[in-house]
Structure 1
Amino acid sequence: MSTIRGYDPETLREIVDQRECRERLEALGEQRSLPALLERVWLLKVLGDLDASLSYAELAVRQSRMAGTRKDLLRSRVLHATVLQARGSHTAAIAELDTCADEAEGQNWPNVAAFALQHRGKVYYDLGQFEEARADFKRALFLRQQAGAPEEALQTTLQAVDAAERRRADVAVSA
């Protein structure tokens, strides 16, 4: 069962069941597999424990470099960048996501590229750069459609495009 209940239409942040997240984190225990590490990073991030989340994100990146595939490494780096974003390190997050999106597109991995672009769009969105956010969300949508992503992923990306367009229009009206 997913702990994500939806996405806040204004911030684009995940709406989660905090209790379920804590229970899932407890259930993971000390598992050190890459999937468990990545899940732990995300859970700690949405629970607001950004120091621990960053620590585990760095561990996941190291583990991916040593024993994972290139796709594993890119996914780990994207998740690491989302923790940087949550900590307010927007420039570092954008730089990491730039590299990940470029490599994934160069390798013709549309799902990974879309994952990176969706998150880079969220960083731009946080910064109030709604045109850049919209462009990233639209590119992510195209890549997800190309890859045959599930409807839920497409809807999430469409909501992000709509939010960026709405915020961009609000800024234009108030200027």
Structure 2
Amino acid sequence: MGAKGVTVSYILGYDPETLREQVDLARCHERLEELGDQRSLAALLERVWLLKVQGRLDDALAVSEQSVRVARMAGPRKDLLRARILHATVLQFRGAYAAAEQELTTCADEAEGQGWAALAAFALQHRGKVHFDAGDFDAARADFKRTLFLRQESGAPEDQLESTLLAIEAADHRRSRVAS
């Protein structure tokens, strides 16, 4: 997830070629077992992320759809946006780039409209990753640059700034490879 820092300890780094999280799969599996069938929104969101990074995309999609329903019924708007962003990342991992981009655009626009810079940055960072996966490195770079600005503006932790700088560098590298 990253937005609330819940799963950050499972992230070992980021693959500079794919921008995907490199995770400790054994710890992720253990945590998934610990969560069991908990139905709180926090537990659902964490399960989505854990399932996604383990490559269990069908399960991740089902749980992400459930988390959006739970957030829509019982949570504040920020929680609903977090659930929708995470759902969009599952769509991205499944290769549904257009759907993921549309959802992330809507979430980023709403977050920026509400003045939630950190949440807007979270959505834009992931939209940049969608563009990156789809091969649109100019759009990816633009999203990553906007993310960096928003994260700096909101006082984001150093690890978030570093991941965004890595993403900008990766987009620049890919752009130059495509251009040559």
- Please indicate, yes or no, whether the TM-score normalized by the shorter chain is above 0.5: yes
Instruction: Trace 1:26-175 onto structure 2 (pairs within 5 A).
Output: 26-173=33-180
Residue by residue, what CA displacement relative to the aligned partner does 1:47-98 show, whole Å, maximum 9, x if unpaired? Answer: 1111110000000000010000100000000000000001111110001001
TM-score, structure 2 as length reference: 0.95
Deviation at 1:169?
1.1
2:21 to 14, 27, 35: 14
Normalising by structure 1, report the TM-score. 0.97
Question: For 1:118-158, what per-residue CA distance to the aligned partner results, in whole angstroms no more than 9, with x for missing partners?
Answer: 00000000011000000000000100000000011000000
2:123, 2:24 → 1: CA distance? 25
The secondary structure found in structure 2 opposite 1:100 is helix
Q: Distance in 2 between matches of 1:158 and 1:49?
A: 28
Task: State the percentage of identical aligned residues.
Answer: 67
Cα distance between partner residues in 2 of 1:40 and 1:48: 12
Structure 1 unpaired stretches of 5+: none
RMSD: 0.8
SS of the aligned residue for 2:16 comes to: coil
2-side partners of 1:56 and 1:12: how far apart? 23
**Counterpart-to-counterpart distance in 2, 1:50 and 1:172:** 33
- How far residue 170 of structure 1 moved from its aligned partner, in angstroms, is 1.1
Q: What secondary structure, in the 3-state scheme, does the structure 1 residue paired with 2:59 have?
A: helix
Structure 1 residue aligned with 2:4: none
CA displacement at 1:102 relative to structure 2: 0.5
Give the distance between the partners of 2:82 and 2:10, measured in 1 at CA: 20
Stretches of 4+ aligned residues off by more than 6 angstroms: none
Residue type of the alignment partner of 2:76? T
